[in-house]
A and B are shown apart, each in its own frame.
Chain A
Amino acid sequence: MPIQRFYPHIPQRYRLEGTKCKKCGKVHFPPRQVCNSCGSKELEPYRLAEEGEIITYTVVYTPPDDFKTKKPYVVAIAKMDDGAKLTAQVTDCTPDEVEIGKRVRVVFRKINAEGKSGIIEYGYKFVLI
Protein backbone atom coordinates (compact mmCIF):
# COMPACT_ATOMS: atom_id res chain seq x y z
CA MET A 1 0.00 0.00 0.00
CA PRO A 2 1.45 3.42 -0.88
CA ILE A 3 2.70 5.29 2.16
CA GLN A 4 0.16 8.15 1.83
CA ARG A 5 -2.69 5.61 1.90
CA PHE A 6 -1.23 3.68 4.84
CA TYR A 7 -0.57 6.50 7.32
CA PRO A 8 -4.15 7.72 7.90
CA HIS A 9 -4.98 4.18 9.02
CA ILE A 10 -2.33 3.98 11.75
CA PRO A 11 -4.70 4.36 14.75
CA GLN A 12 -6.81 1.42 13.59
CA ARG A 13 -3.95 -0.74 12.29
CA TYR A 14 -1.54 -0.18 15.19
CA ARG A 15 -3.91 0.30 18.10
CA LEU A 16 -7.22 -1.27 16.99
CA GLU A 17 -9.02 2.05 17.38
CA GLY A 18 -12.61 1.79 16.26
CA THR A 19 -15.68 3.72 17.35
CA LYS A 20 -18.40 3.11 19.91
CA CYS A 21 -21.92 4.52 19.70
CA LYS A 22 -22.71 6.74 22.68
CA LYS A 23 -26.42 6.05 22.22
CA CYS A 24 -26.73 2.29 21.69
CA GLY A 25 -23.26 1.07 22.66
CA LYS A 26 -22.49 -0.66 19.35
CA VAL A 27 -18.76 -1.07 18.62
CA HIS A 28 -17.60 -0.50 15.03
CA PHE A 29 -14.35 -1.60 13.45
CA PRO A 30 -13.12 -0.07 11.20
CA PRO A 31 -14.29 3.23 12.74
CA ARG A 32 -17.51 4.81 11.36
CA GLN A 33 -18.99 8.30 11.13
CA VAL A 34 -22.58 7.12 11.69
CA CYS A 35 -23.75 4.16 13.81
CA ASN A 36 -24.89 1.32 11.54
CA SER A 37 -27.22 0.07 14.26
CA CYS A 38 -29.19 3.15 15.41
CA GLY A 39 -28.09 5.90 13.00
CA SER A 40 -26.62 8.12 15.72
CA LYS A 41 -23.73 10.41 14.80
CA GLU A 42 -22.53 10.58 18.41
CA LEU A 43 -19.61 8.16 18.29
CA GLU A 44 -16.48 8.06 20.43
CA PRO A 45 -13.05 6.49 19.76
CA TYR A 46 -12.90 3.01 21.21
CA ARG A 47 -10.07 0.53 21.54
CA LEU A 48 -11.13 -3.01 20.65
CA ALA A 49 -10.89 -5.95 23.04
CA GLU A 50 -7.64 -7.82 22.43
CA GLU A 51 -9.06 -11.31 22.76
CA GLY A 52 -11.84 -13.13 20.96
CA GLU A 53 -13.01 -16.36 19.37
CA ILE A 54 -12.60 -17.62 15.81
CA ILE A 55 -15.97 -17.70 14.03
CA THR A 56 -14.64 -18.65 10.59
CA TYR A 57 -11.35 -18.95 8.74
CA THR A 58 -9.75 -19.82 5.43
CA VAL A 59 -6.37 -21.27 4.49
CA VAL A 60 -4.52 -19.37 1.76
CA TYR A 61 -2.50 -21.70 -0.48
CA THR A 62 -2.05 -19.37 -3.47
CA PRO A 63 -1.27 -15.93 -2.06
CA PRO A 64 -0.36 -12.75 -3.91
CA ASP A 65 3.35 -12.48 -4.88
CA ASP A 66 4.27 -10.44 -1.78
CA PHE A 67 3.24 -13.32 0.49
CA LYS A 68 4.47 -16.31 -1.51
CA THR A 69 7.20 -17.22 1.03
CA LYS A 70 4.59 -17.32 3.81
CA LYS A 71 2.18 -19.90 2.35
CA PRO A 72 0.13 -21.65 3.51
CA TYR A 73 -1.29 -19.19 6.02
CA VAL A 74 -4.61 -18.75 7.79
CA VAL A 75 -6.89 -15.72 7.71
CA ALA A 76 -9.64 -15.74 10.32
CA ILE A 77 -12.62 -13.66 11.39
CA ALA A 78 -12.93 -13.51 15.16
CA LYS A 79 -15.71 -12.19 17.36
CA MET A 80 -13.86 -10.09 19.89
CA ASP A 81 -14.96 -10.05 23.53
CA ASP A 82 -16.69 -6.69 23.06
CA GLY A 83 -18.72 -7.98 20.11
CA ALA A 84 -16.76 -6.41 17.24
CA LYS A 85 -15.69 -8.65 14.38
CA LEU A 86 -12.07 -8.52 13.29
CA THR A 87 -10.39 -10.12 10.26
CA ALA A 88 -6.68 -10.92 10.49
CA GLN A 89 -4.02 -13.48 9.73
CA VAL A 90 -3.44 -16.12 12.42
CA THR A 91 0.34 -16.18 12.85
CA ASP A 92 2.78 -18.54 14.64
CA CYS A 93 0.68 -21.60 13.78
CA THR A 94 0.13 -24.22 11.10
CA PRO A 95 -3.29 -24.46 9.37
CA ASP A 96 -4.15 -27.74 11.16
CA GLU A 97 -3.96 -26.01 14.55
CA VAL A 98 -6.74 -23.54 13.70
CA GLU A 99 -10.37 -24.40 14.54
CA ILE A 100 -13.65 -22.51 14.79
CA GLY A 101 -14.26 -21.66 18.46
CA LYS A 102 -10.57 -21.41 19.40
CA ARG A 103 -9.52 -18.34 21.38
CA VAL A 104 -7.20 -15.78 19.82
CA ARG A 105 -5.26 -12.76 21.05
CA VAL A 106 -4.19 -9.76 18.98
CA VAL A 107 -0.45 -9.20 18.43
CA PHE A 108 1.55 -6.54 16.59
CA ARG A 109 3.51 -7.85 13.62
CA LYS A 110 5.05 -6.96 10.28
CA ILE A 111 2.33 -7.10 7.63
CA ASN A 112 4.31 -6.39 4.47
CA ALA A 113 7.41 -4.63 3.20
CA GLU A 114 7.74 -2.85 -0.12
CA GLY A 115 10.66 -4.80 -1.52
CA LYS A 116 14.12 -4.36 0.01
CA SER A 117 14.09 -0.55 0.12
CA GLY A 118 10.46 0.51 0.67
CA ILE A 119 8.45 1.21 3.81
CA ILE A 120 7.63 -1.63 6.24
CA GLU A 121 3.95 -1.89 7.18
CA TYR A 122 3.04 -3.07 10.67
CA GLY A 123 -0.34 -4.02 12.08
CA TYR A 124 -2.42 -6.55 13.98
CA LYS A 125 -2.55 -10.32 13.60
CA PHE A 126 -3.98 -13.09 15.77
CA VAL A 127 -2.15 -15.79 17.69
CA LEU A 128 -3.89 -18.80 19.22
CA ILE A 129 -4.13 -18.57 23.02
Chain B
Amino acid sequence: MIGIIGYGSYVPIYRIKVEEIARQWGDNAEAIKNGIKVYEKTVPGQDEDTITIAYMAAKYALVRAGIDPKEIGALYIGSESHPYAVKPSGTVVAEALGMVPDIHIADYEFACKAGSEAMFVAYTHVKAGHMKYAMGIGADTSQGAPGDALEYTAAAGGSAFIFGKGDKVIAEVVDTYSYTTDTADFWRRETRPYPKHGGRFTGDPAYFHHVLSAAKGIMEKNGLTAKDFRYAVFHMPNASFPMRAARRLGFTKEQYEVGLIVPYTGNFYSGASPTGLSASLDDAKPGDLILMVSFGSGAGSDAFIFRVTERINEVRDLVPKVWDQIRTPRKRYLTYGEYAKFREKILMNE
Protein backbone atom coordinates (compact mmCIF):
# COMPACT_ATOMS: atom_id res chain seq x y z
CA MET B 1 0.00 0.00 0.00
CA ILE B 2 1.37 3.40 -1.06
CA GLY B 3 0.00 6.70 0.13
CA ILE B 4 0.21 9.62 2.53
CA ILE B 5 2.07 8.77 5.74
CA GLY B 6 2.07 12.30 7.18
CA TYR B 7 0.26 15.54 6.44
CA GLY B 8 0.20 19.05 7.89
CA SER B 9 -1.20 22.47 7.15
CA TYR B 10 -0.42 26.02 8.18
CA VAL B 11 -2.81 28.98 8.25
CA PRO B 12 -1.48 32.43 9.26
CA ILE B 13 -3.34 34.26 12.09
CA TYR B 14 -4.01 37.50 10.20
CA ARG B 15 -7.31 38.15 8.37
CA ILE B 16 -8.97 40.89 6.39
CA LYS B 17 -12.72 41.01 5.82
CA VAL B 18 -14.34 41.52 2.42
CA GLU B 19 -16.12 44.60 3.90
CA GLU B 20 -12.76 46.22 4.71
CA ILE B 21 -11.42 45.78 1.16
CA ALA B 22 -14.75 46.87 -0.38
CA ARG B 23 -14.77 50.05 1.75
CA GLN B 24 -11.33 50.95 0.38
CA TRP B 25 -12.41 50.72 -3.27
CA GLY B 26 -16.05 51.81 -3.05
CA ASP B 27 -17.35 48.34 -3.94
CA ASN B 28 -20.58 46.80 -2.66
CA ALA B 29 -19.46 44.23 -0.07
CA GLU B 30 -22.79 42.39 0.03
CA ALA B 31 -22.84 41.96 -3.75
CA ILE B 32 -19.26 40.63 -3.69
CA LYS B 33 -19.96 38.20 -0.83
CA ASN B 34 -23.07 36.95 -2.67
CA GLY B 35 -21.04 36.40 -5.82
CA ILE B 36 -17.93 34.68 -4.51
CA LYS B 37 -19.24 33.36 -1.14
CA VAL B 38 -15.99 34.42 0.52
CA TYR B 39 -16.25 36.48 3.72
CA GLU B 40 -12.65 36.96 4.85
CA LYS B 41 -9.18 35.90 3.80
CA THR B 42 -5.87 35.16 5.47
CA VAL B 43 -2.92 37.53 5.21
CA PRO B 44 0.68 36.42 5.84
CA GLY B 45 2.50 38.14 8.70
CA GLN B 46 5.28 40.56 7.75
CA ASP B 47 7.81 37.83 8.52
CA GLU B 48 5.96 35.06 6.65
CA ASP B 49 6.30 33.91 3.05
CA THR B 50 5.92 30.72 1.01
CA ILE B 51 9.11 29.32 2.59
CA THR B 52 8.02 29.82 6.22
CA ILE B 53 4.49 28.53 5.48
CA ALA B 54 5.92 25.45 3.71
CA TYR B 55 8.26 24.92 6.69
CA MET B 56 5.40 24.87 9.23
CA ALA B 57 3.23 22.56 7.10
CA ALA B 58 6.22 20.23 6.56
CA LYS B 59 7.08 20.23 10.26
CA TYR B 60 3.53 19.20 11.18
CA ALA B 61 3.58 16.51 8.48
CA LEU B 62 6.82 15.12 9.94
CA VAL B 63 5.27 14.97 13.42
CA ARG B 64 2.27 13.02 12.09
CA ALA B 65 4.55 10.69 10.08
CA GLY B 66 6.87 10.12 13.04
CA ILE B 67 9.93 9.65 10.85
CA ASP B 68 13.48 11.02 10.82
CA PRO B 69 13.62 13.99 8.37
CA LYS B 70 16.84 12.52 6.94
CA GLU B 71 14.82 9.60 5.53
CA ILE B 72 12.99 11.90 3.10
CA GLY B 73 14.43 11.37 -0.39
CA ALA B 74 12.79 14.28 -2.20
CA LEU B 75 11.19 17.61 -1.34
CA TYR B 76 9.05 19.43 -3.90
CA ILE B 77 7.38 22.76 -3.21
CA GLY B 78 4.70 24.01 -5.59
CA SER B 79 3.91 27.72 -5.46
CA GLU B 80 3.29 30.74 -7.62
CA SER B 81 4.84 32.99 -4.97
CA HIS B 82 8.30 31.51 -4.39
CA PRO B 83 10.22 34.34 -2.64
CA TYR B 84 13.06 34.11 -5.16
CA ALA B 85 12.67 34.06 -8.97
CA VAL B 86 16.01 32.24 -9.09
CA LYS B 87 16.99 30.19 -6.00
CA PRO B 88 14.80 27.37 -4.75
CA SER B 89 12.46 27.57 -1.76
CA GLY B 90 12.98 23.88 -1.05
CA THR B 91 16.63 24.21 -0.05
CA VAL B 92 15.77 26.59 2.81
CA VAL B 93 12.96 24.35 4.08
CA ALA B 94 15.06 21.18 3.82
CA GLU B 95 18.03 22.81 5.58
CA ALA B 96 15.81 24.17 8.36
CA LEU B 97 14.15 20.79 8.94
CA GLY B 98 17.41 18.84 8.86
CA MET B 99 16.73 16.91 5.61
CA VAL B 100 19.92 17.87 3.78
CA PRO B 101 22.17 16.87 2.03
CA ASP B 102 20.97 13.45 0.76
CA ILE B 103 17.84 14.73 -0.91
CA HIS B 104 16.48 15.71 -4.33
CA ILE B 105 14.84 19.14 -4.37
CA ALA B 106 12.85 21.11 -6.94
CA ASP B 107 10.36 23.95 -6.92
CA TYR B 108 7.27 23.61 -9.09
CA GLU B 109 5.09 26.16 -10.83
CA PHE B 110 1.77 25.73 -12.62
CA ALA B 111 -0.44 28.52 -11.23
CA CYS B 112 -2.68 26.96 -8.54
CA LYS B 113 -1.88 23.37 -9.55
CA ALA B 114 1.76 23.45 -8.44
CA GLY B 115 0.97 21.87 -5.06
CA SER B 116 -0.83 18.81 -6.43
CA GLU B 117 1.97 18.51 -8.98
CA ALA B 118 4.54 18.34 -6.18
CA MET B 119 2.39 15.69 -4.48
CA PHE B 120 2.05 13.70 -7.72
CA VAL B 121 5.81 13.57 -8.32
CA ALA B 122 6.54 12.72 -4.67
CA TYR B 123 4.00 9.86 -4.85
CA THR B 124 5.37 8.47 -8.11
CA HIS B 125 8.93 8.37 -6.71
CA VAL B 126 7.75 6.14 -3.88
CA LYS B 127 5.63 4.04 -6.24
CA ALA B 128 8.62 3.53 -8.55
CA GLY B 129 10.76 2.45 -5.62
CA HIS B 130 13.26 5.29 -6.03
CA MET B 131 13.04 6.23 -2.39
CA LYS B 132 11.39 5.34 0.89
CA TYR B 133 9.67 8.68 1.51
CA ALA B 134 9.07 11.85 -0.51
CA MET B 135 7.35 15.11 0.39
CA GLY B 136 5.16 17.36 -1.75
CA ILE B 137 4.02 20.80 -0.56
CA GLY B 138 1.61 23.38 -1.94
CA ALA B 139 2.00 26.85 -0.37
CA ASP B 140 1.38 30.40 -1.47
CA THR B 141 1.22 34.02 -0.36
CA SER B 142 -0.42 35.29 -3.52
CA GLN B 143 -1.30 38.86 -4.31
CA GLY B 144 -4.06 40.42 -6.39
CA ALA B 145 -3.49 43.89 -7.85
CA PRO B 146 -4.96 46.60 -5.59
CA GLY B 147 -8.60 47.22 -6.60
CA ASP B 148 -8.76 44.05 -8.76
CA ALA B 149 -11.40 41.38 -8.06
CA LEU B 150 -8.60 38.96 -7.10
CA GLU B 151 -7.70 41.15 -4.12
CA TYR B 152 -10.80 39.82 -2.31
CA THR B 153 -9.53 36.25 -2.41
CA ALA B 154 -5.72 36.11 -2.86
CA ALA B 155 -4.63 34.62 0.47
CA ALA B 156 -1.83 32.74 2.24
CA GLY B 157 -1.51 29.19 3.54
CA GLY B 158 -0.33 25.74 2.60
CA SER B 159 -0.13 22.01 3.22
CA ALA B 160 2.51 19.29 3.10
CA PHE B 161 2.17 15.57 2.40
CA ILE B 162 4.74 12.84 2.95
CA PHE B 163 4.30 9.77 0.75
CA GLY B 164 5.54 6.32 1.70
CA LYS B 165 4.50 2.70 1.81
CA GLY B 166 3.51 0.06 4.37
CA ASP B 167 1.68 0.30 7.71
CA LYS B 168 2.50 3.97 8.16
CA VAL B 169 0.03 4.88 5.40
CA ILE B 170 -2.82 7.13 6.58
CA ALA B 171 -4.51 7.48 3.18
CA GLU B 172 -3.76 5.11 0.34
CA VAL B 173 -3.50 6.58 -3.15
CA VAL B 174 -6.12 4.56 -5.08
CA ASP B 175 -5.41 6.31 -8.37
CA THR B 176 -4.35 9.58 -10.02
CA TYR B 177 -5.37 11.20 -13.30
CA SER B 178 -4.39 14.51 -14.93
CA TYR B 179 -6.24 16.53 -17.58
CA THR B 180 -4.29 19.31 -19.33
CA THR B 181 -4.67 21.69 -22.31
CA ASP B 182 -3.12 24.98 -23.37
CA THR B 183 -5.62 27.61 -22.17
CA ALA B 184 -4.59 31.21 -21.39
CA ASP B 185 -7.11 32.09 -18.66
CA PHE B 186 -4.70 33.62 -16.12
CA TRP B 187 -1.04 34.53 -16.34
CA ARG B 188 1.76 36.69 -15.00
CA ARG B 189 4.74 37.69 -17.10
CA GLU B 190 8.27 37.43 -15.66
CA THR B 191 9.18 40.41 -13.39
CA ARG B 192 5.58 41.69 -13.14
CA PRO B 193 4.24 41.84 -9.56
CA TYR B 194 0.55 41.09 -10.23
CA PRO B 195 -1.19 38.52 -12.45
CA LYS B 196 -3.65 39.20 -15.29
CA HIS B 197 -6.76 37.17 -16.01
CA GLY B 198 -9.12 36.64 -18.91
CA GLY B 199 -12.24 37.83 -17.05
CA ARG B 200 -15.23 35.64 -17.97
CA PHE B 201 -12.88 33.34 -19.87
CA THR B 202 -11.69 31.94 -16.50
CA GLY B 203 -14.99 30.09 -15.81
CA ASP B 204 -16.30 27.56 -18.31
CA PRO B 205 -13.42 26.85 -20.74
CA ALA B 206 -10.83 26.93 -17.99
CA TYR B 207 -11.88 25.98 -14.45
CA PHE B 208 -15.03 23.96 -15.13
CA HIS B 209 -13.80 22.19 -18.25
CA HIS B 210 -10.61 20.94 -16.59
CA VAL B 211 -11.99 20.21 -13.11
CA LEU B 212 -15.04 18.33 -14.41
CA SER B 213 -13.02 16.41 -17.02
CA ALA B 214 -10.41 15.33 -14.46
CA ALA B 215 -13.06 14.34 -11.90
CA LYS B 216 -15.17 12.40 -14.43
CA GLY B 217 -12.03 10.83 -15.90
CA ILE B 218 -10.73 9.41 -12.63
CA MET B 219 -14.16 8.24 -11.43
CA GLU B 220 -14.91 6.44 -14.72
CA LYS B 221 -11.43 4.89 -14.74
CA ASN B 222 -12.13 3.40 -11.31
CA GLY B 223 -15.80 2.53 -11.79
CA LEU B 224 -16.85 4.94 -9.03
CA THR B 225 -19.64 7.51 -8.81
CA ALA B 226 -20.14 10.56 -6.57
CA LYS B 227 -22.03 8.57 -3.92
CA ASP B 228 -19.02 6.29 -3.32
CA PHE B 229 -17.04 9.18 -1.79
CA ARG B 230 -17.26 10.55 1.74
CA TYR B 231 -15.39 13.77 0.79
CA ALA B 232 -14.86 15.76 -2.41
CA VAL B 233 -12.35 18.59 -2.64
CA PHE B 234 -12.03 20.89 -5.65
CA HIS B 235 -9.72 23.80 -6.26
CA MET B 236 -11.35 26.83 -4.66
CA PRO B 237 -10.47 30.23 -6.17
CA ASN B 238 -13.77 31.32 -4.52
CA ALA B 239 -16.58 29.26 -2.98
CA SER B 240 -19.08 29.45 -5.84
CA PHE B 241 -16.88 27.66 -8.44
CA PRO B 242 -16.19 24.49 -6.39
CA MET B 243 -19.81 24.32 -5.17
CA ARG B 244 -21.05 24.46 -8.78
CA ALA B 245 -18.48 21.87 -9.89
CA ALA B 246 -19.49 19.59 -7.00
CA ARG B 247 -23.21 19.83 -7.83
CA ARG B 248 -22.62 19.21 -11.54
CA LEU B 249 -20.76 16.02 -10.61
CA GLY B 250 -23.54 14.89 -8.26
CA PHE B 251 -21.82 15.62 -4.93
CA THR B 252 -23.80 16.91 -1.95
CA LYS B 253 -22.97 19.62 0.59
CA GLU B 254 -22.12 16.95 3.20
CA GLN B 255 -19.37 15.72 0.87
CA TYR B 256 -17.74 19.05 0.03
CA GLU B 257 -18.33 21.31 3.04
CA VAL B 258 -15.49 19.97 5.25
CA GLY B 259 -12.87 20.64 2.59
CA LEU B 260 -14.40 23.94 1.48
CA ILE B 261 -12.28 26.27 3.60
CA VAL B 262 -12.25 29.22 1.16
CA PRO B 263 -15.19 31.23 2.64
CA TYR B 264 -13.06 31.85 5.77
CA THR B 265 -9.53 31.70 4.34
CA GLY B 266 -9.60 32.99 0.76
CA ASN B 267 -7.71 31.22 -2.01
CA PHE B 268 -4.47 29.48 -0.97
CA TYR B 269 -3.61 29.01 -4.68
CA SER B 270 -1.16 26.05 -4.79
CA GLY B 271 -2.17 25.27 -1.21
CA ALA B 272 -5.95 25.43 -1.84
CA SER B 273 -7.10 21.91 -2.76
CA PRO B 274 -4.23 20.34 -0.72
CA THR B 275 -5.48 22.17 2.40
CA GLY B 276 -9.06 21.09 1.60
CA LEU B 277 -7.71 17.53 1.50
CA SER B 278 -5.93 18.10 4.82
CA ALA B 279 -9.18 19.38 6.41
CA SER B 280 -10.99 16.30 5.07
CA LEU B 281 -8.32 13.97 6.52
CA ASP B 282 -8.72 15.77 9.89
CA ASP B 283 -12.37 14.68 9.82
CA ALA B 284 -12.11 11.30 8.09
CA LYS B 285 -12.79 7.77 9.35
CA PRO B 286 -11.01 4.59 8.25
CA GLY B 287 -12.37 3.34 4.93
CA ASP B 288 -13.56 6.76 3.70
CA LEU B 289 -12.85 7.63 0.06
CA ILE B 290 -11.70 11.19 -0.74
CA LEU B 291 -11.67 12.77 -4.20
CA MET B 292 -9.34 15.73 -4.67
CA VAL B 293 -9.15 17.73 -7.91
CA SER B 294 -6.79 20.67 -8.28
CA PHE B 295 -6.85 23.30 -11.00
CA GLY B 296 -4.04 25.39 -12.39
CA SER B 297 -4.57 28.11 -14.95
CA GLY B 298 -2.80 27.56 -18.19
CA ALA B 299 -4.52 25.00 -17.73
CA GLY B 300 -4.78 21.61 -16.05
CA SER B 301 -6.22 19.55 -13.22
CA ASP B 302 -4.69 16.73 -11.18
CA ALA B 303 -7.17 14.31 -9.65
CA PHE B 304 -6.43 11.91 -6.76
CA ILE B 305 -8.53 9.28 -5.04
CA PHE B 306 -7.48 8.41 -1.47
CA ARG B 307 -8.72 5.67 0.82
CA VAL B 308 -8.28 6.47 4.54
CA THR B 309 -6.77 3.81 6.83
CA GLU B 310 -7.02 2.98 10.56
CA ARG B 311 -3.83 4.96 11.21
CA ILE B 312 -5.69 8.26 10.80
CA ASN B 313 -6.97 7.82 14.37
CA GLU B 314 -3.41 7.67 15.76
CA VAL B 315 -2.05 10.78 14.01
CA ARG B 316 -4.99 13.16 13.59
CA ASP B 317 -4.62 14.97 16.92
CA LEU B 318 -0.82 15.24 17.02
CA VAL B 319 -0.68 18.76 15.49
CA PRO B 320 -3.15 21.66 14.95
CA LYS B 321 -5.99 20.76 12.57
CA VAL B 322 -7.02 22.96 9.64
CA TRP B 323 -10.39 24.20 10.97
CA ASP B 324 -8.87 24.83 14.43
CA GLN B 325 -6.26 27.07 12.80
CA ILE B 326 -8.96 28.84 10.75
CA ARG B 327 -11.07 29.48 13.88
CA THR B 328 -8.15 30.25 16.23
CA PRO B 329 -8.92 32.76 19.00
CA ARG B 330 -5.56 34.36 18.11
CA LYS B 331 -7.00 35.47 14.75
CA ARG B 332 -6.30 39.18 14.20
CA TYR B 333 -8.23 41.37 11.76
CA LEU B 334 -6.31 44.00 9.82
CA THR B 335 -7.46 47.37 8.49
CA TYR B 336 -6.82 47.98 4.80
CA GLY B 337 -3.97 50.28 5.81
CA GLU B 338 -2.29 47.56 7.91
CA TYR B 339 -2.91 45.06 5.11
CA ALA B 340 -1.29 47.40 2.55
CA LYS B 341 1.74 47.72 4.86
CA PHE B 342 1.92 43.96 5.48
CA ARG B 343 1.78 43.21 1.73
CA GLU B 344 4.27 46.01 0.94
CA LYS B 345 1.76 47.84 -1.25
CA ILE B 346 2.85 51.22 0.21
CA LEU B 347 5.52 53.11 -1.70
CA MET B 348 8.39 53.71 0.77
CA ASN B 349 11.41 55.94 0.41
CA GLU B 350 14.39 53.70 -0.43
A residues sitting closer than 8 Å to B (CB atoms) are 10, 14-15, 69-70, 91-92, 107-111, 115, 120, 122, 125
A111 close to B47 (CB less than 8 A): yes
Q: For window 47-62 of chain B, which residues contact chain A by CB distance below 8 Å?
A: 47-49, 51-52, 55-56, 59
A92 close to B330 (CB less than 8 A): yes
**A-B residue pair count with CB separations less than 8 angstroms:** 47
A125 close to B47 (CB less than 8 A): yes
A122 close to B92 (CB less than 8 A): yes
8 A-B pairs with the lowest CB-CB distances in the bound complex, closest first: A109-B47, A14-B96, A110-B47, A108-B55, A109-B52, A108-B96, A92-B13, A14-B95
- Closest residue to B341 on the A side, CB-wise? A69
Is residue B25 contacting chain A, with contact meaning CB distance below 8 A? no
Is residue B347 contacting chain A, with contact meaning CB distance below 8 A? no
Give the residues in chain B near A122, CB-CB below 8 Å: 51-52, 92, 96
A109 to B48 Cα, complex, angstroms: 6
B96 close to A69 (CB less than 8 A): no
A92 to B44 Cα, complex, angstroms: 10
- Closest residue to B55 on the A side, CB-wise? A108
A15 to B97 Cα, complex, angstroms: 7
Q: For window 143-176 of chain B, which residues contact chain A by CB distance below 8 Å?
A: none
Is residue B348 contacting chain A, with contact meaning CB distance below 8 A? yes
- Closest residue to B10 on the A side, CB-wise? A107
Give the residues in chain B near A111, CB-CB below 8 Å: 47
Q: How far in angstroms is the closest Cβ of chain B from A17?
A: 9
Other than the given A122-B51, A122-B92, 8 more pairs (CB < 8 A) read A15-B97, A91-B47, A107-B52, A107-B56, A108-B96, A109-B52, A110-B48, A110-B49
Is residue B195 contacting chain A, with contact meaning CB distance below 8 A? no
A56 to B97 Cα, complex, angstroms: 28
